[in-house]
Chains A and B, each alone.
Chain A
Amino acid sequence: EAGVTQFPSHSVIEKGQTVTLRCDPISGHDNLYWYRRVMGKEIKFLLHFVKESKQDESGMPNNRFLAERTGGTYSTLKVQPAELEDSGVYFCASTRGGRGGTQYFGPGTRLLVL
């Protein structure tokens, strides 16, 4: 079974530009999560999808961040316009249906905003 994949693996953009990150969860996993790790800090939760619906978006930092999961398969996380403090590693994770399953993580996208 293929794991969670994320694209791109790295992105370097200038402040004010737009970046879109993509996550493909494990096939059949209804739950999809986004997390972020800013340099030297904890990994922090951003949001949780159940299929195509946002279950919890309490961790989204501000309205420059837009997450979508059309059709309940892959998800995108768009940052527009990007700011310097958005730099970090963005992780995606997925689980099958129901609460409490082990979250399987992707390798992350390393975003650097200059």
Chain B
Amino acid sequence: ELKVEQNPLFLSMQEGKNYTIYCNYSTTSDRLYWYRQDPGKSLESLFVLLSNGAVKQEGRLMASLDTKARLSTLHITAAVHDLSATYFCAFSYNTDKLIFGTGTRLQVFP
């Protein structure tokens, strides 16, 4: 079964702290995606990771991929309130359809 386990489901963190969201997927993947969704808005693409050891960074967010462990992480550095959103990981396998995790709802408080 093609499946993604994402944890934690909810994350409440203080501004300035660091934390990591984990994404385990069930089979060899073509691509691993991270999306962000603000309430009532579209899913916004953050990162696409294509190969083992890939690391991408944008501002306070850094995503990495370990294809051998079938694990991707999204690391948040020195969180700020603007990062409050729901974060989804998803992978594709031999087709274009994306298999999503349940999402991590992140809330950053002062």
Contact = CB atoms under 8 A, between A and B. Distances in A.
Interface of A: 3-4, 31, 33, 35, 40-45, 48, 55-56, 58-59, 91, 93, 95, 99-100, 102-108
Contacts of A56: 95-97
A44 B99 CA distance: 7
B45 A104 contact: yes
A36 to B, nearest CB: 11
A76 to B, nearest CB: 19
13 contacts: A3-B42, A35-B100, A43-B43, A43-B98, A44-B100, A56-B95, A59-B97, A100-B31, A103-B33, A103-B96, A103-B98, A105-B42, A106-B42
A33 B96 contact: yes
Contacts of A105: 35, 42-44
Q: Please classify how large the interface on chain B is, using the bins under 10, 10 to 19, 20 to 34, 35 or more.
A: 20 to 34
A108 B43 CA distance: 9
B56 to A, nearest CB: 13
Contacts of B40: 107
B101 A42 contact: yes
B96 A95 contact: yes
A107 B41 CA distance: 5
B97 A45 contact: yes
Contacts of A93: 43
Contacts of B35: 105
A20 B41 CA distance: 20
A108 B38 CA distance: 12
Interface string B54-65: 000000000000
Contacts of B87: none
B90 to A, nearest CB: 8
A102 B33 contact: yes
Shortest beta-carbon contacts, A-B, top 3:
A105-B43, A45-B97, A43-B100
Given A42-B4, A56-B95, A103 B45 contact: yes
